[in-house]
Amino acid sequence: MMMKDSLYFEKKTLIAMINIYCESVHGGKLLCDECRELREYAIQRIDRCIFGPGKPACKKCPVHCYSPKRREEIKTVMQFSGPAMVYKHPVLTILHLIKEKKTTQK
Ligand code: SF4
Ligand SMILES: [Zn+2]
C-alpha cells in the first residue's frame, strides 16, 4: 500500500461519492459500467494531475483537465452525494472541506 497522502484521501472520497450516487440513483449493489468508467476516469485525472501531490481541489482548479461531459457527470455526483458523505464518511468530508478552504484562501 502506498503512503496515505492527500491524494489517497482524495481518491477515497471520490470513490465513496460515486458509490453512494450509483447505489441511490442506479440502484445496483455493484457499481454500474457507467459509474465504473467515471471512477476510472476521475482517478486517472488525479494520478496525472499537473499539480502533483500539492493539487488544489478540482472544483477550484484553474486548469480543470476534465472533458466537459465528465465534468458535468462528476458535478452531478458531488452534488448528490455531498450531504450523505457528512454522516457516512465524516472524516473524509472534513479533509475534503479543509482542502477546498485552503484552495480558496490562495
Ligand atoms: S481538475 Fe485540476 S486539480 Fe483536478 S486533476 Fe485536473 S488539473 Fe488536477
Ligand atoms: Zn451507476
Q: Which atom of ligand 1 is nearest to the CA of 45?
A: 5
For the cut 50, the answer to whether the pLDDT of residue 1 exceeds it is no
Q: Which residue has a Cα nearest atom 1 of ligand 1?
A: 64
**What are the structural domain ranges in the chain?**
6-105
Q: Is the four-CA dihedral 22, 9, 53, 56 of positive or negative sign?
A: positive
Q: How far is the CA of 32 from the centre of ligand 2 (A)?
A: 4
For the cut 90, the answer to whether the pLDDT of residue 104 exceeds it is no
* pLDDT at 74 (0 to 100): 97
pTM listed for this prediction: 0.89
* pLDDT at 5 (0 to 100): 74
Contact criterion met (CB below 8 Å) for 5 and 46: no
Check pocket membership of 59 for ligand 1, CB cut-off 6 A: no
Q: How far is residue 35 from each of residues 14, 24, 41, 81, measured CA to CA in Å?
A: 11, 12, 10, 13
> For 21-48, how does the pLDDT look when each residue is reduced to its tens digit (9 = 90+)?
999 999 988 999 999 999 999 999 999 9
Contact criterion met (CB below 8 Å) for 8 and 90: no
> For 48-89, how does the pLDDT look when each residue is reduced to its tens digit (9 = 90+)?
999 998 899 898 899 999 999 999 999 999 999 999 999 999
Secondary structure (H, E, C), 10-34:
HHHHHHHHHHHHHHHHHCCCCCCHH
Q: How far is the CA of 45 from the centre of ligand 2 (A)?
A: 19
For the cut 50, the answer to whether the pLDDT of residue 101 exceeds it is yes
Check pocket membership of 56 for ligand 1, CB cut-off 6 A: yes
